[in-house]
Structure 1
Amino acid sequence: MLCASATTFASTITSEKVSANMNVYLTVLKACTVSVSDMNFGSQFSNAGEQTTDATASVTCTQGTNYKLTADAADEYMLEDNSGNKVSYALYTDQAGKIPMTTGTAETGTGSAQQVKIYGKIAANTLKQAPAGVYKDTVSILVDY
């Protein structure tokens, strides 16, 4: 009989509940990443006229983030061979060659990769003074946001 009354007592226990609200927060920070393809003017004869080419920067910025893609500050870029000979060239944000890459191009991030063209130009007659050889330069592509 004692066992039966213990079982009856256990089944009549009721539970109470209390609650509180928990606030959940998240701060999404602005961020950008950039990668860029190589720019190659190819193999040219010294009597070649103006040479143009392009490269593509892939920029990914947080959605709604305004950014500006530029190149490191240089009034004139120089390709150089192992002997110190130089060939000047210019970088532009537009195919017409009117907006220097140092001025940059402004965009707004979408959260996905955006492809931005960078145009290169070697002026006519520039190659006439260049000795045969392989010329190279390294340019920093910058994203300000």
Structure 2
Amino acid sequence: MRKIAFGFAAIAALAATPALAASASNQMPVSVNVINSCTVAASPMAFGTLTSVGGVNVDTTASVDLICTIGAAYDVAMDVGTHATGSQRYLQNTTDATKKIPYGVYRDSARGQNWGNTSGTDTVAGSSATGLATLTAYGRIPASATSVPAGSYTDTVTVTVNF
């Protein structure tokens, strides 16, 4: 009896499987749209620990790293910071806002070209064949800075990449 039941089950399974006698096909379009994009990150610009201010230039650097779509044109701008007076950037004492140290951020190692936010005038423009770019921001506290009391002095500059 078992052999007969198994035989009927096998025949039923074959009968339930449809016979494929024809086929149809079509095409599925596949696409992607890549748009220009950039992100920016800046390392801290730290002048270190000083025993006095004034008399000599104090120089430092910071990195500005870009990740962009390959070949995207970019223009990197920097504002004057949160403690500026006019176009002069200042580091401000964290406990006495009347105490400030002037400083500059420059596009060149000679520290002669201010890094600002007027496109085509004082920003850094370019493009990257690899999609990655590292720019250097050159900082200086000038020798002409007047002496200030001991303390912590800070500022925040906003770095913007336009693409």
In the alignment, does 2:127 pair up with 1:108? yes
In the alignment, does 2:30 pair up with 1:24? yes
CA distance in structure 2 between the aligned counterparts of 1:14 and 1:50, rounded to whole angstroms: 85
C-alpha displacement at 1:107, in angstroms?
A: 1.8
Q: Which amino acid is 2:150 matched to?
A: A
In the alignment, does 2:107 pair up with 1:93? yes
* 1:100 alignment partner, SS class: coil
| Residue-by-residue CA offset, 1:52-93 (whole Å, 9 max, x unaligned) | 100011110011110011111562111000201111111111
Q: TM-score, normalised by structure 2?
A: 0.73
Query: Do the aligned partners of 1:64 and 1:108 also contact (CA within 8 Å) in 2?
Result: yes
C-alpha displacement at 1:29, in angstroms?
A: 1.7
Q: Which amino acid is 2:69 matched to?
A: T
Question: CA separation of 1:24/1:47 partners in 2, compared to 1, >3 Å: closer, same or farther?
Answer: closer
The percent identity for this pair of structures is 28
What residue is the counterpart of 1:3 in the other structure? none
In the alignment, does 2:145 pair up with 1:133? no
C-alpha displacement at 1:43, in angstroms?
A: 1.8
Unaligned runs of 5+ in 1: 1-5
In the alignment, does 2:72 pair up with 1:65? yes
CA distance in structure 2 between the aligned counterparts of 1:47 and 1:96, rounded to whole angstroms: 19
Query: Do the aligned partners of 1:36 and 1:57 also contact (CA within 8 Å) in 2?
Result: yes
Query: Bigger CA drift: 71-80 or 82-91?
Result: 71-80
Tell me how large the CA RMSD over aligned residues is: 2.2
What residue is the counterpart of 2:136 in the other structure? 117
C-alpha displacement at 1:16, in angstroms?
A: 2.0
Unaligned runs of 5+ in 2: 1-10, 82-86, 117-121
In the alignment, does 2:149 pair up with 1:142? no
Q: Which runs of 4+ in 1 moved over 4 A?
A: none
